[in-house]
Chains A and B, each alone.
Chain A
Amino acid sequence: MGAVILLPGVLRPEAADASRLEVAAPGTVRDVLAEVAERWPRLAKRLRDERGDLRRYVNLYVDGEECRRVKGLDTPVPDGAEIQIIPSVAGG
């Protein structure tokens, strides 16, 4: 029972250089991020601000769907889900 988070290279130093993190599922994106905050606090603060909001240019895909287009932090994360974290392309 669980899901896997795939991390981009730039975030791996925040999670002991892991590229894949196994987390509990089913649940929601909010639950997953709460577990991340518990186990990898440095990574969590890169993803969320102190209100718990996902940072503006952090995109979190659950099985290929960006969570903001589903239910945001309440997006369901089914058992076996693959969660990709991909930074936006923005800026100059």
Chain B
Amino acid sequence: MTRLVAIGTEKGLFLATHDGGGWDVSPLHFTVKSVYAVAIDTRGGTPRILVGASSAHWGPSVAISSDLGKTWEEPDDPAIVFPEDTGAALERVWQLAPGPADRPEIVYAGTEPSALFRSEDGGRSFSLVRGLWEHPHRPTWEPGGGGQAIHTILPDPRDDGRMVVAMSTGGVYRTADGGESWTPGNAGIKAVHVPDPFPEYGQCVHKVARDNVDPDRFYAQVHHGVYRSDDGAASWTSIAEPLPGDFGFPIVAHPSKPGTIYNFPMIADMDRYPADHRCRVYRSTDAGKSWEPLSEGLPAEPFYPSVLRDAMCVDAGEPAGVYFGSKSGEVFASLDEGDSWTRVAAHLPAVLCVRAAAI
């Protein structure tokens, strides 16, 4: 089994592989382009790597490799284009998400400005999901610190018509009819930046993960809060209390163990660093009732960088791999579900996203 880790940074993409020995990190792909979105699509016979890369000068694009990064394919016509009547232009691709397991041609994209796109040709071309774009709430969605973008796309593995998306600052939205209509799913999530502490929508949700065994269960890392939903992302209860901080960006779910989740807690707003300035991943095996810090093999010295919302992930290996990258350009891996860690790479540009697969 080979572990493949795609590392998107502010200045390009790296591909790291592990065949049982050490980590081999590729030369830079997409020089000086910021890579906010990567997907490793393993639904077909050959793994495909999809990359959303943005050049500050020459704009955003989506590229696909079917040979593990040896070559990249980018259509002459841009894959993601806002229709003329929207008056919008693509700023950045924040998320590329494979669709149903049995339909490898379906791929979703989340963009800035906040929009959802759907591809039916494996990511070569996308069309705007109008139901979300035309939602009456859209004019009130505000940009968070990183921009106004759909950063989370969670198709329901049981039903292609059902999906959960999330954005900062707008919150969680759900559809049950293939994207025609959307309802906010934020009940119980506290907002700290508006007068109403529990608005219907507008929360600053940083990332949402779906439990891979119980698809009606979700976990959310919010700006000041960590939550669980047991009702399909309709309502939420706090699971932050045992953590050393309720701020942070990523949250991910184990590929096969229900209730096992990982995050990287930080302290906010007065101390925007990892808790106690220590590099620790926190793991819960009981859906957030209790949490344990994981630090074996992680830096012991004071640690100040953030781990951004898409810079943590798991793979579906046996045992599962867990990975994260920091804004200081370090990437760490655990091949024993978080018990111990090794450094995959250091001195990279700031890490924006990390995606991994056992291939």
A residues touching B (Cβ–Cβ < 8 Å)? Answer: 10-11, 41-42, 45-47, 49-51, 53, 55-58, 87-88, 90-91
Contact = CB atoms under 8 A, between A and B. Distances in A.
Nearest to A49: B89
Nearest to A91: B56
Q: Which 6 A-B pairs have the closest CB atoms?
A: A49-B89, A46-B58, A57-B57, A87-B57, A50-B81, A51-B89
A57 B56 CA distance: 7
Nearest to A47: B58
A45 B89 contact: no
A49 B56 CA distance: 12
Given A50-B81, A50-B89, A53-B89, A45 B59 contact: yes
B76 interface: yes
A78 B81 CA distance: 32
B182 interface: no
B299 interface: no
B60 to A, nearest CB: 9
Nearest to A53: B89
A83 B77 CA distance: 25
Interface string B80-101: 0110100111100000000000
A50 B82 contact: yes
B78 interface: yes
- For this complex, into which size category does the number of interface residues on chain B fall? 10 to 19
A45 B78 contact: yes
Contacts of B57: 46, 55, 57-58, 87-88
B84 to A, nearest CB: 7
22 contacts: A10-B58, A41-B76, A46-B57, A46-B58, A47-B58, A49-B59, A50-B81, A50-B82, A50-B84, A51-B88, A51-B89, A53-B89, A55-B57, A55-B58, A55-B59, A56-B56, A57-B56, A57-B57, A87-B57, A88-B57, A90-B56, A91-B56
B340 to A, nearest CB: 35
A57 B89 CA distance: 15
Which one of A11, A45, A47, A53 has the highest number of Cβ atoms from chain B below 10 Å of its Cβ?
A: A45
Interface in B72-126: 76-78, 81-82, 84, 87-90
Nearest to A11: B58
Nearest to B82: A50
A28 to B, nearest CB: 20
B87 A51 contact: yes
Interface string B31-75: 000000000000000000000000111110000000000000000
A72 to B, nearest CB: 16
A41 B77 contact: yes
B58 A50 contact: no
A40 B220 CA distance: 45
Nearest to B77: A41
Nearest to B58: A46
Given A56-B56, A88-B57, 19 more contacts: A11-B58, A41-B76, A42-B76, A45-B78, A46-B57, A46-B58, A47-B58, A49-B59, A49-B89, A49-B90, A50-B82, A51-B84, A51-B88, A53-B89, A55-B58, A58-B57, A58-B58, A87-B57, A90-B56
B179 to A, nearest CB: 21
A10 B55 CA distance: 12
B296 to A, nearest CB: 35
A55 B54 CA distance: 12
Contacts of B84: 50-51
Contacts of A88: 57
